[in-house]
Each structure stands twice: as structure tokens, then as C-alpha cells.
Amino acid sequence: MTKGAEQNTQAAPLLDRSDERVKHAEGIGGSVRAFWDRVRSGDLGSLPVVVGLAIIWTVFQSLNPVFLAPNNLVNLLFDCSTVGVIALGIVCILIVGEIDLSVGSVSGFASALVGVLWVNQGWPVSIAILAALLFGALIGALYAVLFNRFGMPSFVATLAGLLSILGLQLYLLGSTGSINLPYEAPLVNFGQLLVMPDPVSYALAALPGIVMFVLGYRTAARRREAGLSPQPLSSLLLRPVVVTVVLEFIVYYLNLDRGIPWMFGLFVGLVVVMNYALTRTKWGRQMLAVGGNREAARRAGINVRFIYMTAFVLCSSLAAAGGILSAARLASASQQAGTGDVNLNAIAAAVIGGTSLFGGRGSAYSALLGIIVIQSIASGLTLLDLSSSLRYMITGAVLAIAVIVDSLARRSRASHGRA
């Protein structure tokens, strides 16, 4: 802050700075200190996942130098997108403090449905996809009714769903067991090959920084007008610049190989939309309120049942969408789709990314960060030619560690007076 601004503040205290007991971060150094204080009190945000990712990448890179090669990372992004979309749904349901254990089965059934309707029955692919998404939404609505009307705990309802929908998937695929999707179809291309042209990817990578700065600047101007403390220009500039530099570097590095997959672009697009919905809309605010204190939300006049309904429906719909993407990625709909570790990977991704299992805390970006961690482990172990037995064990251990970190951070937040 300049001297003139300081005098200005003293002359007429800003509405939100009139209490002299509160420390306010000044400038970049202050922002860093405030961040450190937050971390120490257990408000970890996405710090554990960044640290974890650094460790995982260092270990795998030292074991196999191919790991961080652009080619492998592009593959990683393709693989991320499918389970990542499912994890995004899990974020929604975890925020309201519930769980959906059937996302794997729903995704598997959605892929089977697309296979049967499109390849076997000859429906247009768009209608088949729509039908699969609609099925996902219906399943979510059913869970919500069981939860809202019969008070069925969500983990039991969705555990029942896990088995029933898996059965439905096996029934639908019948004796053949799997359906191959045509290789030349646009859907399969989208899942396996399509990448952004270089200029498009550079432009898209510049977009977040620009939007961030413009919105931040406008908010600061409005706050100044309203007599509230505006964010100083230095920190207003710092974040967009850092974000843009990092993103452009990532894009440059991946463009050394094929480039950014469109499927990953779709996933990130969904994450951004979800983040906006959770942080900037009334619906998102009410989701967090219901997850934080259900009774308080009800007494504030929030339609709690409706909020649960949207959470369950979104979760199952996104699971179906993830299933369709994975069918496109594998060019097949099989009995194995959605089984095995899909369920756990999706849940682990959300939790590792920083969404609390206890409800009321979480962000859409945790799905993105978490799935990159999970997929890095899977990819690294595959490169080392390790069997899936070991992969399951390691992923399980990572999930356990993530939950322990979540739990300890929650306790620390409670003792430091942060929710």
C-alpha cells in the first residue's frame, strides 16, 4: 500500500476495516503469511494434493524416465477425463454430506446402454447418449426419494444400487458380454484421438487468467465504490499471471506431443461450470449450508429435500456421463466396464482433492486435482509393469491416507475455530 492510500484509510475507515483487532494481510508478503496461517490451523485447501503430486511424480520419474514424457502425460489426460467426470459428481454428493457408492455401476450400465441402443439397435448415437444420461438422472432421483421419504441412509441405498445396476448391466449385455463400438465413429474418435489444435489450446489456456483479472478488477472497483476494502492491485495481478504462466507452460509441454485432448477440455469445462455453480449461485451456497448444518439450513427456509435431490441426480448423471466417455475411450461396452476400482477411484479422487467426507467443504477443482493424482499412480505403476493387485493396494492406501489427512485437518480446524 502506498502512503497516500494509508492516510486515506485512516481518515475514513472502510466499513469492513473499522475493527482494529483484526489483522489484515497487506500486499504479497501478507498474502503469503495469511496462507501459511490458514494451513497451520488445518485449512489445508489443495496443499496436500499438490505436495502429494510432487512426491508421486518425483518417485515415478526416477523409476521410469518415460513417466513425465509428454506422450505419457497426454495419455494420462485422456484417462483422467472419464473417471474425473464421475469424481465431479462425487464432489456434489460429498458436499451435502452423503455418499454414492454406485457410481461405478451406473457408469458401467450407461456405457452398456449406449452400446446396445447405438450399435445393436441402430439408434442415433445422440439419442443413445441422452437415454443413458436420463437413466443416470432417474437413478439419482430414486436414491433421493429413498433418502428423503424413507430416511434410508445413502450408503445403504447406493450399495443396493451398486449390485442391482451391475446386475442390470450384465443382463443388458447378455451372453456376448461385450459390444465393440465402431472405430471410425466420432464418439470413439473423441475418446481416443481428438486433440485441440495448438492455437486453440494456447488461447484457452490464456482465458482463465484474463477472466480472473477482469472479474477481480471489477469486483475491486465495486467494493471501493461501496466503501469496502478492495483487493490491492498487486495481488489482483499476481494470481492471474501465475495461473497463465503455469497453464501456458503445461500446454506448451503437451503440445510437444499430440496436445490437449478435447475430452479433457470437456472435463475441465464441466469442472469450471460446477465451480461457478457451487461458489457463485444460490444453489451452491445452499448445498454447502445443507452439508454444514442441515437443521440450520432447514430453519433458514431452504428446501433441504430439493437440495438433496439435485445432489443425487447430478452425481448419478455425471456418473453416467463418465461411463459414456469411458466407453468412447475403450471403444467398447463390456461387462467389466465400471467394475473394479472405478467406484473407489472416483471417491478417492474427490477426497484426495480436498473435498471433505463429512460434508460442507469441497470444491469442484478437487475432482480435477484428485483424479490427476489417482491416474498418475495408476499410470506410473502400469509403466513399471506392476500387476493390478499392487495397484489396488496402493490406491487403497492413498485413499486411507487422504481420509486421515481430512480427518486430522478437520480436528485442527475445530480447535482453531475454523469450520
Query: Which residues of this chain interact with other proteins, rule CB under 8 A?
Result: 15-16, 19, 21-22, 219, 222-223, 226-228, 280-283, 285-286, 288-289, 291-293, 295-303, 360-361, 413-414, 416-419
Shortest distance (Å) from residue 228 CB to other proteins: 6
Q: Which is nearer to other proteins, 184 or 295 (CB)?
A: 295
Q: Which is nearer to other proteins, 15 or 400 (CB)?
A: 15
Report which of 161, 155, 92, 103 is spatially closest to residue 309, judged by C-alpha positions.
92
Report how many helices (DSSP H) and strands (DSSP E) the chain contains, helices first: 17, 2
Q: Which is nearer to other proteins, 163 or 226 (CB)?
A: 226
Shortest distance (Å) from residue 222 CB to other proteins: 5
In sequence order, which ranges of 22-177 are alpha helices (DSSP H)? 27-40, 47-63, 70-95, 103-114, 125-150, 154-173
Beta carbons within 8 Å of 216's beta carbon, 6+ residues apart: 231, 236, 239, 240
Shortest distance (Å) from residue 276 CB to other proteins: 9
Shortest distance (Å) from residue 303 CB to other proteins: 7
The answer to whether 241 touches 28, Cβ cutoff 8 Å, is: no
Shortest distance (Å) from residue 266 CB to other proteins: 23
Shortest distance (Å) from residue 31 CB to other proteins: 14
Q: For residue 320, what is its C-alpha cell? A: 453416467
Q: Which is nearer to other proteins, 189 or 293 (CB)?
A: 293
The answer to whether 35 touches 396, Cβ cutoff 8 Å, is: no
- The helix (run of H) or strand (run of E) holding residue 180 is strand 178-180
Can you say whether residue 227 is alpha, beta or left, with left for phi > 0 and alpha for psi between -120 and 50 degrees? left
177-206 per-residue burial string, b: 16 or more CB within 10 A, e: under 16: eebebeeeeebbebbeebbbeeeebbebbb
Q: Which is nearer to other proteins, 303 or 407 (CB)?
A: 303
Q: Which is nearer to other proteins, 15 or 207 (CB)?
A: 15
CA 311 – CA 355 distance, rounded (Å): 15
Shortest distance (Å) from residue 309 CB to other proteins: 16
Q: Which is nearer to other proteins, 44 or 117 (CB)?
A: 44
- The dihedrals phi and psi of 82, each to the nearest 5 degrees, come to -70, -60
Shortest distance (Å) from residue 56 CB to other proteins: 29
Q: Which is nearer to other proteins, 164 or 219 (CB)?
A: 219
Neighbouring C-alpha atoms within 13 Å toward the C-beta of 105: 20
Neighbouring C-alpha atoms within 13 Å toward the C-beta of 380: 21
